[in-house]
Amino acid sequence: MVRFSLRALPAILVILAVAAAACGGDAAQDFPSVEPTAIIIAQAFGSKSAEDEQARLDARLPGRLTEPRVYHTANLLNDGRVLVTGGRGRQGSGGGYTTPPGETVEIFDPETGDWTVSTPMLSARENHRAVLLRDGTVLVTGGLGIVSYPISTLIFDPTTEEWIEKPAMNSGRSSHTATVLDDGRVLVAGGKIAFYLETAEIFDPATDTWGETGPLSTKKAWHRATLLPDGRVLVTGGKRAGLQAMAEVEIFEPAAGNWSQLAQMSTARSAHTANLLPDGRVLVVGGFGVDKDPIDSAEVFDPVAGTWSSAGTLQKARAYHTATSLPDGKVLVVGGLGEFTMTEVYDPNTGAWSVAAELSQARNEHTAQRLEDGSVMITGGFEGGQDGRRSDSVELYDIASGTWITVGPSPVVE
């Protein structure tokens, strides 16, 4: 069902209407059918009229996002629901960057198989980071706002669906990394504003304070951070001014609060993925190379030996893709910049890649979140290239059958 709570937006008008009847579809065997329900719309200052918003929601198909999204975040909550925040939403018919970052929030409930609109963030943002804290709340940091890079820090409480503003970071930043450390603190590193950053800072949820820590060895954004089994944080690749991709690797020691450089990757890359494997190694996949084109190579870091080795070659060069660790230890790689729907799986036991089932549509800058049952949920993203339409579609990878299921019926294009 789709509903707006009165908390969802600053209200000046409330209209009660009836949602469109639910549509059937192949996903009905996996998710309950969605019944027609009342929708309460709270109109925001400066927004479209409640009638326009009502018409848009009436036209929405059950199971799909309440609006298209790119540059958003998705987090699995402790109760099994999925929280999606911010990004860029609706656009004109020509696609592209026609709308500013948004503050909207929605939650997927696997029991109903549909999304509900939740309380919006206190400030709009895209390319931000969101991490689940030990107490079950979600910390949102950084991003690009409507007119600036917000330094404000937000925490979402899933039990009340309310946002709480916490002390600000020392610096705004987007396309950074945010990593929950073993002691529950959150390390935020790098990113960019009008320039690239090497600064790092740590948020302590126990005291609601930010503290600066040692800086990265080089300024960077679109890098990746991976928490290792020994509690250290491995940072790989990224880009900086004048350099599209970097091979540099460094590691953060939480006890000392400093960084040290390690052996470089064999291939420079940015906007790649990095996944912790069951044996403690780290798999790095794809990204943009120094020539600004997506690359098809993968490599593995062994933190014990401190060395890199090849992890084979992808069938498709990928950047702006996702990589999700599956319950059996394999890694599912989805999407990327380009017009292809092929997905691939890496098996760390054999070191081999295999082609998996195809998506219903090409996409990049989407999110991938593993659910409690082990399935993988893909939300939003650009359809094909970055000049493509922003998608509101949701697909679910079923690990038992190895197939993709569209959550909610797909639209019919005449």
Tens of pLDDT along 29-74?
Answer: 233 333 322 223 233 333 456 776 667 667 777 889 999 999 999 9
Cβ contact 102:90 at 8 Å: no
- The tens digit of pLDDT for each residue in 264-297 reads 999 999 999 999 999 999 999 999 999 999 999 9
Dist. CA 292–CA 298, nearest whole Å? 17
> For the chain, what are the domain ranges?
195-319
**In 303-402, which ranges are E strands?**
307-318, 322-325, 331-334, 343-347, 352-356, 367-370, 376-379, 394-398
Dist. CA 229–CA 276, nearest whole Å? 9
Dist. CA 22–CA 246, nearest whole Å? 49
Write down the pLDDT at residue 100.
80
| Collapsed DSSP state (helix, strand, coil) of residue 40 | strand
Q: 200: phi > 0 → left, psi -120 to 50 → alpha, else beta; which?
A: beta
Q: Average pLDDT of 166-179?
A: 97
Write down the pLDDT at residue 98.
52
Tokens, residue 249 = 């690797």
Closest CA to 105 of 157, 151, 152, 149: 157
Looking up tokens 């219903």 gives 360
Cβ contact 267:249 at 8 Å: no
CATH placement of domain 195-319: 2.120.10.80
Tokens, residue 352 = 């081999």
Model confidence at 18: pLDDT above 70: no
Looking up tokens 């909207």 gives 104
Q: 364: phi > 0 → left, psi -120 to 50 → alpha, else beta; which?
A: beta
- Own/partner contacts of 276-280, CB < 8 Å, gap of 24 or more, are 276/226, 276/227, 276/228, 276/229, 276/325, 277/325, 277/329, 277/331, 277/348, 278/329, 278/348, 279/348, 280/228, 280/229, 280/304
Dist. CA 80–CA 111, nearest whole Å? 9
- For residues 1-23, one letter each, b for 16 or more C-beta atoms within 10 angstroms of the residue's C-beta and e for the rest, the string is bbbbeeebbebeeeeebebeebe
- The tens digit of pLDDT for each residue in 357-408 reads 999 999 999 999 999 999 999 999 998 766 678 999 999 999 999 999 988 6
Cβ contact 205:134 at 8 Å: yes
DSSP secondary structure of 122-186: SS--BS-EEEE-TTS-EEEE--B-SSS----EEEEETTTTEEEEEPPPSS--BS-EEEE-TTS-E
Query: Which residue did the predictor score with more confidence, 63 or 179?
Result: 179
